[in-house]
């Protein structure tokens, strides 16, 4: 069940001196932060550029910013549900890339008439719950080449990807561009239920936004009505910020 998120300790005021360093510190510790005071696309570009290298996306403009609005297409193409008013299941961005951008910045330019609440899920919480309640599921969801993300020309990976550094990275989408090997597919209903239990939701007024570790957190939204507009930037953070590309596996994990 979605619940209101206790996010006050992860909020950064962008008008304050040293705000970028504070954002990086919160991300390094918690993997997620909210902010307000974002004046528009130029301000988003400035903050993103100070955090690291902006990564272009197939849907972004030349600056690297993706404007997310309802394009009012008769039927959304595969992977294009973000440009509708539909709800989006929690996911990570760029799951079909070998090395996805580590940070996702989202800011609200214009809120919708109704709905559109943001949904976030801490992948570390999902991993930890599965390690305790369903370790076999965690093993199968962590198996190399157990999932295909991005369609036939996509990337073979896993939902949870352990690394030699001891970190675990999350990679997930649950739409028509995801396919799972049989041993992983049997656990998808359980994974969905666990994600739902760990999900937090909150509204975003104009000028507010969030930033998250794309290798730890999933993000999505509820369905909405009206002319909601969001702007997104993908960023590879500067090494000096020491933002991990994932989370440490709990003792006894897969």
Confirm if 52 and 213 have CB atoms less than 8 A apart. Answer: no
Cα separation of the two ends of the chain: 26
CB contact set of 14 (below 8 Å; sequence gap of 6+): 35, 36, 37, 38, 43, 47
The two tokens of residue 81 are 């549900």
Residues in the chain: 254
DSSP 106-163: EEEEE--SEE--EEEEEHHHHHHHHHHH-HHHHHHHTSTT-EEESSTTSEEE-SEEE-
Which of 230, 236, 190 has the alpha carbon at shortest distance from 94?
A: 236
- pLDDT value for 79: 79
Please report, in tens digits, the pLDDT of each residue of the chain (254 residues total).
Answer: 444 445 667 899 887 778 999 999 999 999 999 998 887 889 999 999 999 999 999 888 899 999 999 988 766 677 788 999 999 999 999 999 999 999 999 999 999 889 999 999 999 999 999 999 999 999 999 999 999 999 888 999 999 999 988 999 999 999 999 999 999 999 999 999 999 999 999 999 999 999 999 999 999 999 999 999 999 999 999 999 999 999 998 765 55
What the chain holds in terms of domains, given with CATH numbers, is 7-137+181-237 (3.60.130.10)
pTM of the model: 0.93
Secondary structure class of 240 (helix, strand, coil) = helix
């Amino acid at each position: 069940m979605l619940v209101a998120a206790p996010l006050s300790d992860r909020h950064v005021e962008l008008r304050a001196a040293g705000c970028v360093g504070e954002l990086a510190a919160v991300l390094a510790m918690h993997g997620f932060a909210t902010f307000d005071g974002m004046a528009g696309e130029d301000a988003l570009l400035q903050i993103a550029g100070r955090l690291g290298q902006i990564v272009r996306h197939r849907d972004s403009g030349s600056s690297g910013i993706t404007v997310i609005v309802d394009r009012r297409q008769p039927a959304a193409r595969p992977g294009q549900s973000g440009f509708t008013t539909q709800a989006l299941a929690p996911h990570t961005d760029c799951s079909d890339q070998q090395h996805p951008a580590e940070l996702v910045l989202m800011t609200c330019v214009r809120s919708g008439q109704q709905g559109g609440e943001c949904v976030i899920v801490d992948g570390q919480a999902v991993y930890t719950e599965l390690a305790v309640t369903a370790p076999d599921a965690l093993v199968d969801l962590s198996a190399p080449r157990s999932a295909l993300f991005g369609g036939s020309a996509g990337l073979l990976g896993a939902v949870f990807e352990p690394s030699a550094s001891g970190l675990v990275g999350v990679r997930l989408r649950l739409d028509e561009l995801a396919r799972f090997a049989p041993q992983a597919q049997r656990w998808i209903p359980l994974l969905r239920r666990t994600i739902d239990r760990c999900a937090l939701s909150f509204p975003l007024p104009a000028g507010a936004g969030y930033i998250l570790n794309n290798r730890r957190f999933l993000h999505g939204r509820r369905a909405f009505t009206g002319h909601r507009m969001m702007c997104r930037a993908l960023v590879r953070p500067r090494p000096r910020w020491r933002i991990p590309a994932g989370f440490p596996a709990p003792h006894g994990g897969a």
